């Protein structure tokens, strides 16, 4: 076993939701940062309450001894040219690079319904091989540009978007090269109809970032059967933190350890903090991952 070389971070969505700003909108950023650090997290991903100027962001995180893990970027390469995307990404890329992030979360939002009231079956799709190949070509070129600044493209498969299902992820990996990394999200993989363990085993060589999200299967079934939107599924509790659902995190982390994964494990669970109190759930997720990581380290050293 090669072992894990990981740091455990968190997305501020446990405190404040970007897609639904009313969820946790009243919780100050300082509360999220101080509570996250008290629990044991080493870093945060960006959210809508963070400063977007490099010095101000570094000072904000530095007050709490936290690192910048990464930050979501709303990409539109399904519609834009690479030149247009490179121009659009510059402020965000500059922020990540100057603040030490090594990966950029790329979420394809062109035609996406993730932030709308549309049912999930209305998500966009590529139907022809040529569409996939052209999309892959654009991603490869864009990913190569990011690497010139020391930042890896971490492609986020996501509910309601072009790349949602296991088959979509397989195709995406086949039409892109190593400059395009995979952000493996255990919760979106399970919701999208995949076996997270099998899919991670298949694509672990391309994984450069990991979102640790759990699911409540009965809510996922309701979302599918009742044609809920993604946001309806979130509000009704489809996602939760590691250790509070059915995803096999010991198996996932064992696969990452076997392949010498070096990077962040990020707890991310879209929930309403009024129903799932931020501190309690963030701590539950951290303790679950910490216990697994420490256990793998002990076995590797034995």
| pLDDT score of 2 | 56
Summarised one tens digit per residue, pLDDT across range 130-185 is: 999 999 999 999 999 999 999 999 999 999 999 999 999 999 999 999 999 999 99
- Whether the model pTM is above 0.85: yes
Q: Which two tokens stand for residue 218?
A: 């009965």
Given a cut of 70, the residues of the chain with pLDDT beneath it are 1-3, 17-25
Q: What angle (nearest 5°) sits at the alpha carbon of residue 91, between those of residues 73 and 263? A: 50
| pLDDT score of 276 | 86
**CATH topology (fold) of 5-301:** TIM Barrel (3.20.20)
Q: 132 near 175, Cβ under 8 Å?
A: yes
Which residues lie closer than 8 Å to 231 by C-beta, 6 or more apart?
19, 20, 114, 115, 116, 117
Instruction: Report in angstroms the alpha-carbon separations of 49 from 24, 26, 185, 198, 268.
Output: 11, 11, 23, 36, 16
């Amino acid at each position: 076993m090669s072992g894990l070389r990981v740091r455990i971070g968190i997305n501020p969505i446990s405190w404040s939701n970007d897609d639904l700003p009313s969820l946790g909108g009243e919780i100050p950023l300082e509360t999220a940062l101080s509570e996250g650090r008290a629990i044991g997290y080493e870093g945060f991903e960006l959210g809508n309450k963070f400063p977007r100027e490099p010095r101000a962001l570094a000072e904000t995180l530095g007050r709490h001894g936290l690192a910048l893990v990464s930050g979501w970027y709303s990409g539109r390469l399904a519609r834009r040219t690479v030149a247009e995307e490179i121009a659009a990404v510059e402020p965000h890329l500059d922020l990540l690079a100057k603040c030490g992030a090594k990966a950029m979360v790329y979420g394809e939002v062109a035609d996406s319904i993730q932030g709308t009231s549309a049912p999930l079956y209305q998500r966009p799709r590529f139907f022809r091989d040529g569409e996939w190949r052209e999309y892959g070509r654009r991603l490869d070129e864009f990913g190569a540009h990011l690497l010139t600044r020391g930042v890896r493209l971490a492609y986020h498969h996501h509910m309601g978007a072009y790349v949602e299902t296991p088959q979509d992820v397989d195709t995406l990996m086949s039409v892109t090269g190593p400059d395009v990394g995979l952000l493996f999200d255990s919760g979106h993989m399970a919701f999208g109809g995949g076996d997270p363990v099998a899919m991670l085993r298949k694509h672990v060589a391309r994984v450069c970032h990991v979102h640790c999200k759990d699911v409540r299967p009965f809510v996922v079934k309701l979302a599918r059967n009742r044609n809920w939107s993604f946001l309806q599924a979130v509000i009704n509790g489809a996602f939760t933190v590691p250790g509070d659902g059915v995803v096999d995190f010991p198996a996932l982390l064992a696969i990452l350890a076997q392949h010498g994964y070096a990077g962040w494990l990020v707890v991310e669970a879209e929930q309403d903090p009024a129903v799932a109190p931020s501190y309690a759930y963030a701590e539950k997720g951290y303790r679950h991952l910490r216990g697994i990581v420490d256990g793998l380290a002990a076995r590797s050293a034995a």
